[in-house]
Amino acid sequence: MNRKPTPSLILATIMVIIVTIYGVNQFNRLNQTEYVEIREFEGVRLSSINDFRENSIRGPQEINTSDYKLEIFGKVKAPIEYKYNEVLDNFTTYRKVTTLNCVEGWSATVLWEGVKVMDLVAGAEPETDARIMIFHAEDGYTTSLPIEYVKENELILAYKINNVILPEENGFPFQLVAESKWGYKWCRWVIGLELSADTDYEGYWEQRGYSNSADLD
């Protein structure tokens, strides 16, 4: 006599299929639900993930972790690529509560969790004349910051926000957290870190008249 599959068996089968197709990390991201978001950290009230507004140049980017690579290149002696898992597993994680201020007039204060940018580039052995770091996004967006600023402020590439894996619309798999800078410096969907000696480099919005320093003050 044939038995009908139980709901638990059906769910388990679906989970196996998802993991097989997308990989463990992609499954973990899909399995994240909004209820795990925290709204307070060490006494600081946090904004909601939903407070962020969609203002990217080509809409949210869909990136599969199974074939994702973060490239470190340019003025380096040993260009290197990291898989998504390698970034999460091989580097120290840091947390910081920081406010993103958008030129459109809105802001959001959230808990970011990620790895230091300078830890990532160290293995590529930056050349002595490298002065600028150019951040490349999946959608073709770029922006840049002085390497000294990145180092002094211990900037991170975040992969979590308010304890939730970074949602696709917020820049999954990595968003730059550039505190004290306007939001257009907070590059999302980061796929490349390019070290350069070109101190006059201008990114997407900078070429369209926005300040290259992007200082809030």
Could you tell me if 4 and 108 lie in one domain?
Answer: no
Residue recorded with tokens 């004349």: 129
**What is the span of the domain harbouring residue 19?**
1-31
**pLDDT given at position 32:** 47
Q: Is residue 119 in a domain?
A: yes
**How much is the average pLDDT of 14-24?**
50
**pLDDT given at position 34:** 43
Q: How far apart are CA 67 and CA 75, in angstroms?
A: 25
Residue 72 · residue 124 · CB < 8 Å: yes
Could you tell me if 127 and 144 lie in one domain?
Answer: yes
pLDDT band at 4 (very low <50, low <70, confident <90, very high): low
Q: Is residue 214 in a domain?
A: no
97 has a pLDDT exceeding 80: yes
Q: How far apart are CA 138 and CA 179, in angstroms?
A: 22
Could you tell me if 43 and 27 lie in one domain?
Answer: no
11 has a pLDDT exceeding 70: no
8 has a pLDDT exceeding 70: no
pLDDT in tens, 49-95: 999 999 999 999 999 999 999 999 999 999 999 999 999 999 999 99
Q: Is residue 97 in a domain?
A: yes
Could you tell me if 14 and 66 lie in one domain?
Answer: no
Could you tell me if 10 and 108 lie in one domain?
Answer: no
Structural domain tally of the chain?
2
Could you tell me if 144 and 198 lie in one domain?
Answer: yes
pLDDT in tens, 145-179: 999 999 999 999 999 999 999 999 999 999 999 99
Q: Is residue 14 in a domain?
A: yes
Q: Is residue 216 in a domain?
A: no
Q: How far apart are CA 140 and CA 173, in angstroms?
A: 15
Could you tell me if 13 and 111 lie in one domain?
Answer: no
Q: Average pLDDT, whole number, for the chain?
A: 90
Residue 195 · residue 133 · CB < 8 Å: yes
45 has a pLDDT exceeding 50: yes
Could you tell me if 19 and 90 lie in one domain?
Answer: no
Q: Is residue 215 in a domain?
A: no
Could you tell me if 117 and 43 lie in one domain?
Answer: yes
123 has a pLDDT exceeding 90: yes
Could you tell me if 77 and 166 lie in one domain?
Answer: yes
Could you tell me if 15 and 100 lie in one domain?
Answer: no
For residue 138, give both structure tokens.
Answer: 């999946």
24 has a pLDDT exceeding 50: no
Could you tell me if 41 and 13 lie in one domain?
Answer: no
**pLDDT given at position 5:** 61
101 has a pLDDT exceeding 60: yes
CATH number assigned to the domain comprising residue 73: 3.90.420.10
Q: Is residue 217 in a domain?
A: no
Q: Is residue 98 in a domain?
A: yes
Nearest Cα residue to 57 out of 144, 179, 212, 184: 184
7 has a pLDDT exceeding 60: no
pLDDT band at 19 (very low <50, low <70, confident <90, very high): very low
**pLDDT given at position 36:** 86
**pLDDT given at position 13:** 59
**pLDDT given at position 12:** 53
